[in-house]
Amino acid sequence: MENNIKLGSAEEQQIAQQKNAKMTLRNEINYYVADTDSLVGTASDLAHLLLTELSGFVNKLSEANSLAEMRASTESLKNAIGAVENKVASAEVVFPYQAKLPLSVIDEVVQRANGVSQLINKQNNQS
């Protein structure tokens, strides 16, 4: 092996290959698409957009007294994100999660959420 690194088992070799492939993919994303800070900024922008639109929708919906008012409450949210559904359906847009196995996406979310929560709880318990 390169650099005189010896991996004992086939499992260790497979794990090392998977980590190397993930690192290579991340480097390609960074080079060809956007750097990490830009990706975080885009995710932040989207979270803020969705929070604002969802907040407006909930507030309008909670005050609706008729089906017409309920439908009207969706207009801003529909204008902001409604076109996404058709773009995904026509494959004009393919989100990264769609290129992954759906269960692996959920597993990653759960694993990271639990890991972050454990660290926060640990810090809170030390205070």
Examine the domain organization and report whether 83 and 99 are in the same domain.
Answer: no
Examine the domain organization and report whether 20 and 46 are in the same domain.
Answer: no
CA angle 79, 83, 86 (to 5 degrees): 155
Q: What are 114-118's contacts with CB under 8 Å, separation 24+?
A: none
At 18-43, the pLDDT tens digits run: 999 999 999 999 999 999 999 999 99
Per-residue pLDDT at 1: 46
Q: Please tell me what DSSP assigns to residue 4.
A: G
Examine the domain organization and report whether 99 and 76 are in the same domain.
Answer: no
What's the number of domains the chain is made of? Answer: 3
At 50-70, the pLDDT tens digits run: 999 999 999 999 999 999 999
Q: Which domain holds residue 15?
A: 1-33
The answer, yes or no, to whether residue 127 has pLDDT greater than 90, is no
Q: Which of 98, 92, 58, 88 is nearest to 76 (CA)?
A: 58
Q: Write down the mean pLDDT value for the chain.
A: 92
At 71-107, the pLDDT tens digits run: 999 999 999 999 999 999 999 999 999 998 878 899 9
Does the model's pTM come out above 0.75?
Answer: no
